[in-house]
Amino acid sequence: MSRRVPFDAVTDADWSNWRWQQSHRLRGLGELDHVFGLTDGERDTFVRSAETFLVSVTPYYASLSEHGNPNCPIRLQSIPQAGELLTYPFELADPLAEESHMPVPGITHRYPDRVLFYVTHNCPVYCRHCTRKRKVANPESASTKDEIAGGLDWIAANPEVRDVLVSGGDPLTLSDDRLGEILLRLRAIPHVEVIRLGTRNPVTLPQRITPELCAILRQVRPLYLHTHFNHPRECTPEAAQALRMLADAGCNLGNQMVLLRGINDDPQTVLELNRWLLKQGCRPYYIFQADMALGITHLRTPLSKGLEIIKFLRGRISGMGVPQFAIDLPGGGGKITLAPEYLVAREGSELVFRNGKGEDYRFYDVEP
Ligand SMILES: *Cc1c(COP(=O)(O)O)cnc(C)c1O
Ligand code: SF4
């Protein structure tokens, strides 16, 4: 395998070892500059934003970037840009009011039947667009053993919870043993019918998907695994192999893309991404409108962009490749989905629909 400078001297054994990747994450200005070739503005922003939200990039993910290209989608997701320092009055530290819907620490209970369960606040790469910046990467907010035990007890005591989404941070940051304990405990709760795992490791640290981890996941299958690919540049042989191993372990794979300005706000890019995902057995589940989180307004797109992308996909890829376009409403309103408008006229029971090619078709509705 030929890797680019400065990773060309790393042995294959180290490179494919997730612990090596984790312990060699790029965090300092000097090493980031060496790999990415930072601009003056990025160096300045790095220094000024260091307090707000840590920078951390696995060597693997950094190696996917294009050195010196300020518009590289890998770079824009991992290196702070000047916009991160700007704050607006409408931005929220906790945009989804996750803290105020917590019956116990570490659980967000917003819908009657399902919960989010945070088991760690660490991730291999800190995505610049993260909605949970207030917690993620903050060592003082780490989930403790007691907190996780308390969360499991709460789920066991609340039979209306049928669906548990294990999240973070990134749950695969935990050791196999720790994660295995949590998943097996959940599986042993009779009313928990659905277990989901939200993880970006297939994208940022695919080496983490080992046969040992898969053996644990296989014990709790079926498991729904939501991952977070945002751009075709992330679609590598390593990522494909990680997805294949997860599918073989009984994971039902779904992707939650976040729509980001200058990164993937382009229909052709999303089409290419979704084609690759389907080929790997991973269904595009959601495209999320970026939240009103602190310091990410420069990455947000107008709502019309998401609708344009959904409309473009329909007809060019199977329905399985057309995700739902969702907004998670600020203040804890929950998720809603938006769809393009195909109905262009209505006269009584006669409806006129316009398809993707711009052609009109009449449809006669019946009385309710
Ligand atoms: C997103 C979310 C879920 C899961 O929602 P689905 O639409 O079922 O994927 C559950 N709980 C909370 C609090 C959420 O934000
Ligand atoms: S992997 Fe998820 S939780 Fe972690 S920084 Fe990225 S978006 Fe945030």
C-alpha–C-alpha distance, residues 201 and 251, integer Å: 14
pLDDT at residue 190 is higher than 60: yes
Domains, the chain, with CATH or none? 12-85 (no CATH), 99-338 (3.20.20.70)
Q: Is 123 in the pocket of ligand 2 (CB under 6 A)?
A: yes
**Average of per-residue pLDDT across 168-172:** 94
Q: Which listed ligand is nearest to 164 at the C-alpha? A: 1
C-alpha–C-alpha distance, residues 194 and 136, integer Å: 25
* pLDDT attached to residue 141: 67
What is the residue type of 59? P
Mutational test site, ligand 1, from 99, 102, 110, 328, max ligand atoms within 8 Å of CB: 110
Q: Residue 11 class from Cβ within 10 Å (0-12 exposed, 13-18 middle, 19+ buried)?
A: exposed
C-alpha–C-alpha distance, residues 75 and 57, integer Å: 10
Question: Closest Cα to residue 212, out of 164, 257, 245, 255?
Answer: 245
Taking the CB of residue 228, how many other CB atoms lie within 10 A of it?
A: 20
Q: Which residues pair with 362 in a beta bridge?
A: 352
What is the pTM (predicted TM-score) of this model? 0.96
DSSP letter for each residue of 223-275 = EEEEE----GGG--HHHHHHHHHHHHTTEEEEEEEEE-TTTT-SHHHHHHHHH
Q: Which listed ligand is nearest to 168 at the C-alpha? A: 2
Between the CA of 294 and the centroid of ligand 1 the distance, in Å, is: 21
Q: Is 114 in the pocket of ligand 1 (CB under 6 A)?
A: yes
pLDDT at residue 139 is higher than 70: no
Question: Closest Cα to residue 203, out of 179, 174, 235?
Answer: 235
Question: Closest Cα to residue 296, out of 324, 334, 261?
Answer: 261
* pLDDT attached to residue 138: 73
C-alpha–C-alpha distance, residues 31 and 96, integer Å: 34
* pLDDT attached to residue 5: 82
Name which of 43-57, 177-191, 241-255 the model is least confident about.
Answer: 43-57
